[in-house]
Amino acid sequence: MNDLNLEGLSDKQLRIFAVRCARRVQHLMTDPRRVAALDVAERHANGQATDEELKVAWDAANAAWAAANAAWDAARTAVRAAALDAAGAAASSARDAANAAWAAANAAWDAARTAVRAAALDAAGAAASSARDAAWYAAWATARPADAARAAGAAARDVERVEQQKILDEIRQEQM
């Protein structure tokens, strides 16, 4: 950064310098009170406006600044509330999906257990070794969908945890 040597400049020259610097960013001034204050400051630097006119313009520019800050605060609050609502809805949906997957896994497990029991009873009633082997293979084949449903429920819970962690990380980043 370059250091400016402003020594030896008169008050008028310093005021004109300040006005010219402000003119470079005038396109960013959205409130006409700020532009008007800049015009009065330039006229004052050139001896064409009184101290009272400068004070009135300065007060109006400060009021514009305060209004802009209030609007910014209101917008930030509204965005934050909307983001929190959306995050809560997403987390709730993820939780509901995980609960549904868990219920499906439990139902599949119950069905598999019932099928295994029925197959085991049928196999126990038969004396032949081949019947026993057939019951074992049937029970194994029946239990496999339950394992898949249980894994799906676990995966859904993992997805919910990851999404909740992302939401927390975003909130922490916003607060920095």
For the chain, helix, strand, coil in percent to 5 are 85, 0, 15
pTM for the full predicted model: 0.45
User: Is 39 a residue whose pLDDT tops 90?
Assistant: yes
Q: pLDDT tens digit string along 114-129?
A: 888 877 676 666 555 6
Instruction: Return the higher-pLDDT residue of 91 and 155.
Output: 91
Q: pLDDT-derived band of residue 157, with 50, 70 and 90 as boundaries?
A: confident
Mean pLDDT, rounded, for 147-171 = 69
**pLDDT tens, 79-125?**
998 888 888 888 888 888 888 888 888 888 888 888 888 776 766 66
46-65 pLDDT, tens digit each = 999 999 999 999 899 899 88
SS3 label, residue 24:
coil
| pLDDT on residue 70 | 92
**Structure confidence at residue 166 (pLDDT):** 64
Residues ≥6 apart with Cβ < 8 Å to 9: 17
Q: How far apart are CA 140 and CA 142, in angstroms?
A: 5
